Structure 1
Amino acid sequence: MPLKTTFDILDFWFDEATETVWFKKDLLFDRQIKEIFLDTYKLAAAVDLSESQNNPKKFLV
């Protein structure tokens, strides 16, 4: 899957997902998140994003 932007993640979480699945165990929802966002997560985990704490707006693109 193509890499996702911060806006993609927020859109998924607040538009596609609902509060009913945010804080409960749901294996299907967990699998969906993994399928959609795993590549983006792996890339983010592999780089130093500490600068985002000092300049968060830079990382919202």
Structure 2
Amino acid sequence: MRFVAEAPGRTRVELEHRRIDRHGPGWQSLRDGVAGDQGWPLYLARYGALFPEVS
């Protein structure tokens, strides 16, 4: 996870999930799960909702 300052009051968060193959046999199912609608996209959206933009 990286936090990149883009402008005053604005930060981009970059998330990279790598070496998932280390989870052993069946790792492809894990990869598909975290990439699906109920995986990282869902949890990142929930996290983002905790910090709405302030005008």
Same fold (TM over 0.5): no
Higher gyration radius (CA): 2
Normalised by the length of structure 2, the TM-score is 0.31
From the two aligned structures, give the one with the greater helix fraction: 1
From the two aligned structures, give the one with the greater strand fraction: 2
Normalised by the length of structure 1, the TM-score is 0.29
